[in-house]
Amino acid sequence: MVVRGIADKIDFKVLIPFAGLLIAGILSIYSATKLPGQFFIFVKHILWILSGVVVLVFFYFLPVQKLLRMSPLLYFLSILFLVLVIFMGKKVSGSASWIQIGKFQFQPSEFAKFATILILANFLSRKNIRNDSSLTLIVAGILTFIPLFLTILQPDFGTAVVFGAIFLGIMLWFEVPVFWLLLLVAPVILIVASFFSLKIFIFVSILITASFILMRKPFVLTVAIIAMNMAIGLASEHIYHKILKPHHQKRISSFLNPLSDPLGAGYNVIQSKIAIGSGGLVGKGFMKGTQTQLRFIPAQWTDFIFCVPAEEFGFMGSAIILLLYFILLWRIINLASMIKQRFASLVAIGIFSTWAFHIVVNIAMTLGLFPVIGIWLPFLSYGGSAMWVNMAMVGLLLNFYANRRELS
């Protein structure tokens, strides 16, 4: 009875993968920083986790209605910080995304992800909002675009894309007509495709054109949309050279051919693949990965943390981590389906979108399948702001589960 009582209040399908991933993160960061002069990172990571637990507990007990009411304020604050960071931000590797308050540093953009999820869920859960009204889409779009635009100004292209992912996930869950979503997504997909190769660009163009035709919209509209998309795709060359910063250009070109610049932007990817590949089936053993221990991957404890378990625990280790993420994501979908209250359900899907995007892009990055755009891996990467926000998200998910009956 006791166990059932706990199981009723605590969602083990969220908690267990979460705890497993936290442990994997602790081990990985320990391994990646165990050197004099770097070990403080591990200590700080532990401190972030411990303080993060407080955040988690806070959000676990926070009444959902209160959160709903708080969300406009949180959103406003996060926008304020994003504006502030542009003027007084601390520069770290090319972008000013940090705000320093005393000894304390934090990343407003992480906070803004959370706030954007809340404000979108808040807005869409209002009584008179209809999912087939273009006004809904426009307002939600503006709410997303403000933090997205401010993040680009930092400039932090990678994080900015996360807002797009959040928007897309929530809109999909809100059952906005697929045609509209496609309308929004198509240009982005085309731009990304144009960075790869002409062949891929043509292939993706045909796919998108076909989907638009299948939508059976009026002929003139379809033609106009297709033409516009093509124009955007073709203009991306211009965007690439004029708008993207040189370090982004380099990352994209080195992603397409890592060996073109083996010690520059492509270096991390080459070394990361060597680390992962050399892990083999069972890995080189904890603290015995040469790529990790000899620091072939700079600042491995942030975006390239996945190589550590992959190298030291091999295919077994990396498969277990994938499995934990998979269970977690799967669970959130079920949770979001289970909860009938619109706000909570949309928040859950916002969390899903954030994590799914981070996990997919980060692992794709370390495997050399995607350009390096500075996206952390939830629970494994080092980073205080992200850890707190993730802890808050876990707290909310557990909260929703515990209160699932009231939220139905």
Partner 1 sequence: MEEVARAKFLKIFISLVFLFFLVKLFELQLYRSLEYKRQAESNSIRTIQHDPIRGLIFDRNGKIIVDNVPSYTVTLVPYEFEMKNLDVVAKLLNVEPQYIIEKISSAPSPFTPIKIRRDAPLRAIAYIEEHKNELKGIDYLIEHKRNYRAPGLASHILGYVKEITASQLAIYRGFYKPGDQIGQSGLEKSYETIIKGEKGYRFIMVDALGRFVGKYNDGKNDIPPSEGSDLILTIDIELQSFLEQLFQDKTGSAVVVDPRNGEILAMVSKPNYDLTLLSGYTSKRIWDSLNTEPKKPLLNRATSGLYSPGSTFKMVLAITALETKAVDLNWKVYCPGYFVYGNKVFKCHTSQGHGWVNLTKAIEVSCNVYFYNLMLRTNFDDWSKYGSFFGFGRKTGVDLPEELDGILPSTEYFDKVYGVNRWTKGYLISLAIGQGEISVTPLQMAGYAMALANSGKYYQPHLVKEIVNKKVGKTQKVSYRVSEIPVSRETFDIVRNAMYMVVNGSAGTGKAARVEGVNVAGKTGTAQNPHGQDHAWFIGFAPYENPEIAFAIIVENAGTGGSIAAPIAREIVKKYFELKNQKTEIKLAKW
Q: Which residue type occupies 93?
A: S
Specify the residue, 115 or 170, whose C-beta has the smaller distance to partner 1.
Answer: 170
Specify the residue, 98 or 357, whose C-beta has the smaller distance to partner 1.
Answer: 357
d(CA 233, CA 228): 9
Binding of partner 1 by 397 (CB under 8 A): no
Beta strands in 281-320 (DSSP E): none
100 phi and psi angles, rounded to 5 deg: -110, 125
Binding of partner 1 by 279 (CB under 8 A): yes
Give the strand pairing for 104-106 and 95-101.
antiparallel
Closest residue by Cα to residue 404 from 332, 356, 355, 317? 332
C-beta of residue 259 within 8 angstroms of C-beta of residue 270: yes
Binding of partner 1 by 295 (CB under 8 A): yes
Binding of partner 1 by 322 (CB under 8 A): yes
Beta strands in 303-405 (DSSP E): none
Alpha-carbon separation of residue 59 from 55, 98, 140, 244 (angstroms): 6, 24, 25, 38
**Out of 15, 19, 274, 299, which residue is the one contacting partner 1 (CB under 8 A)?**
274
Binding of partner 1 by 334 (CB under 8 A): yes
- Contact window for partner 1 (CB under 8 A) among 17-25, 38-46, 74-82, 270-278: 270-278
Q: Which residue type occupies 162?
A: V
Specify the residue, 107 or 268, whose C-beta has the smaller distance to partner 1.
Answer: 268
92 phi and psi angles, rounded to 5 deg: -130, 120
d(CA 206, CA 229): 11
d(CA 397, CA 336): 9
Window 171-210: residues binding partner 1 (CB under 8 A): 172-173, 175, 178
**Out of 269, 356, 375, 396, which residue is the one contacting partner 1 (CB under 8 A)?**
356
Binding of partner 1 by 275 (CB under 8 A): yes
- Contact window for partner 1 (CB under 8 A) among 104-112, 324-332, 376-384, 386-394: 324-332
CB of 361 to partner 1, least distance (A): 10
Specify the residue, 178 or 200, whose C-beta has the smaller distance to partner 1.
Answer: 178
- Contact window for partner 1 (CB under 8 A) among 168-176, 199-207, 209-217, 384-392: 168-176
Binding of partner 1 by 352 (CB under 8 A): yes
Closest residue by Cα to residue 116 from 154, 171, 180, 153? 171
Binding of partner 1 by 130 (CB under 8 A): no
Binding of partner 1 by 273 (CB under 8 A): yes
- Contact window for partner 1 (CB under 8 A) among 53-61, 93-101, 225-233, 316-324: 316-324
- Contact window for partner 1 (CB under 8 A) among 57-65, 88-96, 165-173, 204-212: 165-173
CA angle 39, 296, 105 (to 5 degrees): 45
d(CA 129, CA 150): 27
| Tokens at 155, concatenated | 């400039």
Window 247-266: residues binding partner 1 (CB under 8 A): 263
**Out of 19, 299, 367, 402, which residue is the one contacting partner 1 (CB under 8 A)?**
367
C-beta of residue 189 within 8 angstroms of C-beta of residue 164: no
C-beta of residue 99 within 8 angstroms of C-beta of residue 84: yes
Binding of partner 1 by 290 (CB under 8 A): yes
Rule CB under 8 A: which residues touch partner 1? 169, 172-173, 175, 178, 263, 271, 273-281, 290-291, 294-298, 310, 314-315, 318-319, 322, 325-326, 329-330, 333-334, 336-337, 352, 356, 360, 363-364, 367, 369
